[in-house]
């Protein structure tokens, strides 16, 4: 018996505005976009611009979904060297076929199904060379984002970049009902609890792995509530027969939760890029942290999980 995948091809139902030509599956950036495919591409552009993708980039895309973003990196930014890992079997198979159909068999041959935690093993065995690794709207689903960032640092050369669009806590201290709501949502949405981190802890994870954050943008207002606003318009615009065939529960719940999280400042949505420090730079930073007696100063207050206020 086949176990259903949490990440599958269901998001095709959100792409009717493209006439079925796309199968995007992210929250979108809605600063100017009016349709879901355009918003998803705009979110990809936010990350690509921050990473300065170009034809010389050697890219690994972790969590590439159904392949739309792989096509986007090639056709819009001219990236010639693209490889990738994606957890979903159905999405990966679909992406490979789409890439071949669009004349990009070279990319199809360099992507595979696999968990993000397999990155170091895969790169060592392939071998796959990369100076840029990205995770577009998916790192919060990884088994451990902290381990992922450390794995990327292991794979990238000095000066290499990691870029992510991601969800963080809006503040480190939560009220009891907010904490309880996040607990429930994290289980339902396959979002590991330890991935819900404050900005300070999130930045600390990057620095501990050996990255200097060189770009940081909070685009919550362009993502969370606008996604729900679009979903309402989209449902009303569809032919009733088409609308009846779509399972809306997941999307309505997502929209409602994001609206609540935005209005109460519980979560934020960020675009961040870090550059891997050289060994010498890491050594200098470590030396600055050393006290006069050669010991480290007091540890940073980086709680593993959100604190609760009664």
- Helix axis angle, 36-51 relative to 68-77, nearest 10°? 60
Query: Contact, 163 vs 272, CB < 8 A?
Result: yes
Taking the C-alpha atoms of residue 63 and residue 69, their distance in angstroms, rounded to an integer, is: 10
Q: What is the pLDDT along the chain (310 residues), one digit of tens a residue?
A: 455 666 668 899 999 999 989 999 999 999 999 999 999 999 999 999 999 999 999 999 999 999 999 999 999 999 999 999 999 999 999 999 999 999 999 999 999 999 999 999 999 987 778 999 999 999 999 999 999 999 999 999 999 999 999 999 999 889 999 999 999 988 888 899 999 999 999 999 999 999 999 999 999 999 999 999 999 999 999 999 999 999 999 999 999 999 999 999 999 999 999 999 987 555 545 434 334 333 323 333 334 445 544 3
In this predicted model, what pLDDT tens digit does every residue of 73-127 receive, in sequence order?
A: 999 999 999 999 999 999 999 999 999 999 999 999 999 999 999 999 999 987 7
Query: Contact, 220 vs 304, CB < 8 A?
Result: no
The confidence score (pLDDT) of residue 119 equals: 96
The confidence score (pLDDT) of residue 4 equals: 67
Q: Is the Cα torsion angle 187, 190, 194, 195 positive or negative in sign?
A: negative
The confidence score (pLDDT) of residue 9 equals: 84
Residues contacting residue 168 through CB under 8 Å, at least 6 positions apart: 196, 197, 198, 199, 202, 267, 268, 270
Taking the C-alpha atoms of residue 188 and residue 105, their distance in angstroms, rounded to an integer, is: 36
Query: Contact, 203 vs 214, CB < 8 A?
Result: no
Taking the C-alpha atoms of residue 235 and residue 247, their distance in angstroms, rounded to an integer, is: 11
**Residue 215 DSSP one-character state:** E
Token code pair at residue 255: 């929209």
In this predicted model, what pLDDT tens digit does every residue of 133-158 receive, in sequence order?
A: 999 999 999 999 999 999 999 999 99
* Residue among 126, 119, 112, 202 nearest 154 (CA): 119
204 vs 149, 213, 309, CA distance in Å? 11, 10, 23
**Phi and psi (nearest 5°) for 262?**
-70, -45
Q: Residue 36: left (phi > 0), alpha (psi -120 to 50), or beta?
A: alpha
Q: Residue 162: left (phi > 0), alpha (psi -120 to 50), or beta?
A: beta
Taking the C-alpha atoms of residue 251 and residue 233, their distance in angstroms, rounded to an integer, is: 13
Token code pair at residue 176: 């009891």
């Amino acid at each position: 018996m086949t176990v259903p995948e949490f990440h599958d091809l269901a998001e095709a139902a959100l792409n009717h505005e493209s006439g079925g030509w796309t199968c995007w599956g992210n929250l979108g950036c809605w600063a100017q976009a009016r349709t879901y495919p355009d918003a998803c591409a705009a979110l990809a552009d936010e990350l690509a611009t921050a990473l300065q993708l170009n034809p010389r980039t050697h890219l690994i895309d972790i969590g590439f979904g159904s392949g739309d973003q792989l096509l986007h990196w090639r056709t819009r930014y001219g990236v010639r060297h693209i490889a990738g890992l994606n957890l979903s079997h159905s999405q990966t198979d679909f992406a490979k076929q789409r890439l071949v159909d669009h004349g990009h068999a070279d990319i199809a041959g360099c992507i595979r199904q696999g968990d993000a935690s397999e990155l170091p093993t895969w790169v060592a065995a392939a071998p796959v060379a990369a100076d840029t690794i990205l995770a577009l709207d998916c790192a919060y689903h990884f088994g451990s984002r902290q381990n992922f960032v450390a794995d990327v640092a292991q794979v990238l050369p000095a000066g290499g970049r990691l870029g992510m669009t991601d969800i963080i806590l809006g503040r480190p201290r939560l009220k009891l009902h907010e904490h309880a709501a996040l607990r429930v949502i994290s289980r339902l949405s396959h979002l590991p609890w330890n991935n819900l981190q404050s900005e300070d802890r999130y930045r600390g994870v990057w620095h501990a792995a050996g990255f200097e954050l060189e770009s940081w943008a909070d685009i919550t207002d362009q993502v969370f509530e606008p996604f729900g606003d679009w979903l309402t318009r989209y449902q009303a615009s569809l032919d009733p027969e088409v609308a009846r065939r779509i399972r809306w529960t997941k999307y309505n719940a997502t929209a409602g939760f994001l609206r609540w999280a935005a209005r109460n400042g519980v979560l934020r949505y960020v675009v961040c890029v870090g550059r891997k420090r050289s060994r010498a730079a890491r050594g200098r930073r470590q030396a600055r942290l050393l006290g006069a007696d050669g010991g480290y100063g007091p540890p940073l207050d980086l709680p593993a999980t959100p604190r609760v206020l009664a």
